[in-house]
């Protein structure tokens, strides 16, 4: 049976140097005169001033200007309830938490949301979910894709390197996620949306062609992460972006004494899962070598004991979510690789 699908994708996409200074112009062109702006608390100067200046210059009033420190559902609901009258757009500027909260406020208010990430540490800036905490636990809540995505590639290039490296980790996860999806089809008949899988898989190759952190590399990384978010919207699930490697990362978030950046956890887990899947390992290694991903991990290695627990916990994180870890003997094999794979050795301490 073919089910009719209706999706909404970003209408405005700007990925270029200097895009932050054009934010006001993009809003004004969209007919907005009053916007609510949610900015990451502690966002490095002069980025907040540049955003404010561009709004002022374009005659867009920031009717609310809020610094976001927490991404709990209660804060998002309160911000929605306090939206000033006449606000016609919600803007999120900065990193993960501010963008997740702004996305959810826009979703609750049925208002167009403009995502302005200032770093590329994961694919969340253009995904149809908001990652919020409920009673202290991280949850992925259904939301909507942004109306506008404004990525200033010069700003993202100059962000702390570990954040961009983390984005590479979240990107390579698409190899293992798509492979897990296909394994789920063969093992339990889970339908695969070919187009979403194709989009997700294809995005990595464009970055592979120029895996560097200059303006062009950052442009390709941003575009790839953005298209991953759209792939999730196309099929209505997180399958094209999230497989066994994400389950391990979720387990670490829940059990580790000090969870690390999402993309760093997911990237190492993707490498490990690619060994189990016997596919794409060479491509992942090529990307990790080119971007010095390994160095970022070795600078602050993971705990091997915590990973052993996370791998065991991973298959029970999401009900009915078949991945390579669901296959017989997979957990033992993953543990063996964790202890013996030479590339993983510098990534862990006992
Ligand atoms: Zn991710």
Going from the Cα of 170 to the center of ligand 1, the distance in angstroms, rounded, reads: 5
Going from the Cα of 153 to the center of ligand 1, the distance in angstroms, rounded, reads: 20
% of the chain with per-residue pLDDT over 70: 99
Domain locations along the chain: 12-157, 161-349
What values do phi and psi take at 149, rounded to 5? -125, 120
pLDDT at 3 over 70: no
CATH fold of 161-349: Dehydroquinate synthase-like, alpha domain (1.20.1090)
Going from the Cα of 103 to the center of ligand 1, the distance in angstroms, rounded, reads: 17
Query: Do 161-349 and 12-157 fall under one CATH topology?
Result: no
Going from the Cα of 246 to the center of ligand 1, the distance in angstroms, rounded, reads: 6
Render pLDDT for 73-86 as a digit per residue (tens, 0 to 9): 999 999 999 999 99
Going from the Cα of 249 to the center of ligand 1, the distance in angstroms, rounded, reads: 9
Going from the Cα of 241 to the center of ligand 1, the distance in angstroms, rounded, reads: 7
Render pLDDT for 200-251 as a digit per residue (tens, 0 to 9): 888 888 899 999 999 999 999 999 999 999 999 999 899 999 999 999 999 9
Going from the Cα of 179 to the center of ligand 1, the distance in angstroms, rounded, reads: 15
Cis peptide before 21 (omega within 30 of 0): no
pLDDT at 2 over 80: no
Going from the Cα of 261 to the center of ligand 1, the distance in angstroms, rounded, reads: 10
CATH fold of 12-157: Rossmann fold (3.40.50)
Going from the Cα of 49 to the center of ligand 1, the distance in angstroms, rounded, reads: 30
Residues, CB-to-ion distance under 5 Å, ligand 1: 170
Going from the Cα of 34 to the center of ligand 1, the distance in angstroms, rounded, reads: 32
Render pLDDT for 161-184 as a digit per residue (tens, 0 to 9): 999 999 999 999 999 999 999 999
Q: What is the pLDDT of residue 4?
A: 57
Going from the Cα of 262 to the center of ligand 1, the distance in angstroms, rounded, reads: 7
The mean per-residue pLDDT over the stretch 53-80 comes to 96
pLDDT at 15 over 80: yes
Going from the Cα of 147 to the center of ligand 1, the distance in angstroms, rounded, reads: 21
Going from the Cα of 97 to the center of ligand 1, the distance in angstroms, rounded, reads: 14
pLDDT at 1 over 50: no
Q: What is the pLDDT of residue 110?
A: 96
């Amino acid at each position: 049976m073919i089910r009719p699908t209706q999706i909404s994708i970003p209408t405005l996409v700007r990925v270029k140097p200097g895009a932050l200074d054009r934010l006001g112009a993009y809003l004004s062109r969209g007919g907005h005169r009053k916007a609510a702006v949610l900015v990451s608390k502690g966002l490095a100067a002069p980025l907040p001033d540049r955003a404010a200046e561009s709004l002022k210059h374009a005659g867009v009033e920031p009717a609310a200007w809020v610094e976001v420190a927490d991404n709990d559902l209660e804060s998002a609901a309160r911000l929605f309830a306090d939206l000033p009258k006449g606000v016609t757009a919600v803007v999120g500027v900065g990193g993960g938490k501010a963008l997740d909260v702004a996305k959810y406020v826009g979703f609750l208010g049925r208002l167009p949301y403009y995502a302005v990430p200032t770093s590329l540490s994961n694919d969340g800036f253009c995904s149809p979910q908001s990652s919020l905490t409920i009673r202290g636990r991280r949850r992925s809540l259904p939301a909507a894709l942004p109306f506008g995505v404004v990525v200033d590639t010069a700003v993202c290039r100059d962000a702390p390197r570990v954040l961009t490296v983390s984005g590479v980790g979240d990107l390579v996860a698409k190899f293992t996620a798509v492979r897990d999806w296909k394994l789920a089809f063969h093992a339990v008949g889970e339908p695969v949306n070919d187009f979403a899988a194709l989009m997700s898989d294809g995005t990595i190759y464009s970055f592979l062609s120029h895996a560097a952190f200059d303006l062009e590399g950052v442009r390709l990384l941003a575009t790839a992460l953005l298209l991953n978010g759209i792939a999730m919207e196309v099929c209505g699930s997180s399958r094209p972006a999230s497989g066994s490697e994400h389950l391990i990362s979720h387990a670490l978030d829940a059990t580790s004494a000090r969870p690390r950046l999402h993309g760093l956890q997911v990237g190492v887990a993707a490498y490990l899962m690619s060994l189990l899947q016997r596919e794409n390992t060479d491509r992942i290694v090529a990307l990790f070598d080119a971007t010095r991903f390994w160095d970022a991990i070795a600078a602050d290695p993971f705990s091997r004991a915590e990973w052993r627990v996370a791998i065991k916990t991973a298959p029970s994180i999401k009900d009915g979510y078949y991945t390579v870890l669901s296959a017989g003997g997979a957990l033992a094999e993953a543990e063996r690789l964790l202890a013996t794979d030479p590339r993983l050795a510098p990534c862990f301490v006992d």
